[in-house]
Chains A and B, each alone.
Chain A
């Protein structure tokens, strides 16, 4: 069975160790390369370590070229199945790789709950007021962040996690430092965290086709 990492248009690095040290190999089809390594049931010691090893491969490729990562873990039965899958989807991948070629994703985490420094509420009303205030601060911060990068960011996306809001900015590689500098000047963002550049996973628009039935043996 194969563990899939990502799809790229081209890559220079040929010898990358994958999850559990299995060498990463590539299959070419329709102008794209799909990177994968062998996976067997015995490779199940530590899911967290596996996820980090997976990220290490994707990140190494991302440093060299545009990537479309698969969500970890994604499997294919064998190389023939992957070739068939790629043949069906190569054009879609290629189109997205070209659209996102020089673009990366920045991730901004904005807390949406009262800070731990706030005094614990003594009543229900006070609790609701704290939540309301926190939500207002969070919304103001998001608005300020969006305004600060208005002329740099190609596209914004927003999603929610427990206790925080995530803001994703799709931006050209060349404009990264400028955006970071502007964000750092926003006073209201005392608890904001910025990380990146990441592969632009949140902005990939792929409608994938899958062969009618894929049999996978674990």
Chain B
């Protein structure tokens, strides 16, 4: 059985051990793993807003949602 990832520091240890470990985990989950290629329709409240490559959405939850909100606001502005 595998054990949880642990960090083995060789040579001089730094003062930012925890930070390094956290960064490694984030780097691992955000930059590796299976990526589903494809396209999706994003809709808010039943109205289709965007037709984008799925990779765009995979980049980041926050970024994707922020982009979505900005697009929605821009679309509303144009309608006025």
Binding site for B on A (CB under 8 A): 6-7, 41, 44, 47-48, 50-52, 54-55, 58-59, 62-64, 68-75, 85, 104, 107, 109, 161, 173, 180, 183-184, 186, 189-198, 201-202, 204, 206, 208, 210, 213-218
| B41 within 8 Å of A (CB atoms) | yes
Task: Say which residue of A63, A69, A191 sits within 8 Å of B3 (CB atoms).
Answer: A63
Find the A residue at minimum CB distance from B44: A218
* A51-B26, A204-B33 given; 7 more Cβ-contact pairs under 8 Å: A50-B61, A183-B10, A195-B8, A195-B24, A201-B28, A204-B34, A217-B42
Most chain B C-beta atoms within 10 Å of own C-beta, residue among A104, A161, A214: A214
Min C-beta distance of B29 to chain A, whole Å: 4
Find the A residue at minimum CB distance from B20: A193
Cβ A202 vs Cβ B32 within 8 A: yes
Residues of A within 8 A of B78 (CB): none
Task: Say which residue of B30, B32, B37 sits within 8 Å of A208 (CB atoms).
Answer: B37
- Chain B interface mostly helix, strand, loop or mixed? mixed
Inter-chain CA distance A68–B60, complex, in Å, is: 20
Size class of the contact patch on chain B:
35 or more
Q: 3 tightest A-B contacts by CB?
A: A190-B11, A201-B32, A71-B33
Residues of B within 8 A of A72 (CB): 29-30, 33
Known: A51-B29, A63-B1, A180-B8. A208 touches B24 (CB 8 A): no
List 28 contacting pairs A-B, 8 Å CB cutoff, sorted by A.
Answer: A50-B61, A51-B26, A51-B29, A52-B25, A54-B29, A69-B33, A70-B36, A71-B30, A71-B31, A73-B60, A173-B1, A184-B8, A189-B11, A190-B12, A191-B12, A192-B11, A193-B7, A193-B9, A194-B8, A195-B5, A195-B7, A198-B5, A201-B34, A208-B37, A214-B40, A214-B54, A216-B40, A216-B57
Known: A71-B32, A184-B10, A195-B24. A104 touches B2 (CB 8 A): yes
| B43 within 8 Å of A (CB atoms) | yes
Cβ A47 vs Cβ B34 within 8 A: no
Find the A residue at minimum CB distance from B66: A44
Inter-chain CA distance A71–B27, complex, in Å, is: 10
Residues of A within 8 A of B26 (CB): 48, 51-52
Residues of A within 8 A of B35 (CB): 70-71, 74
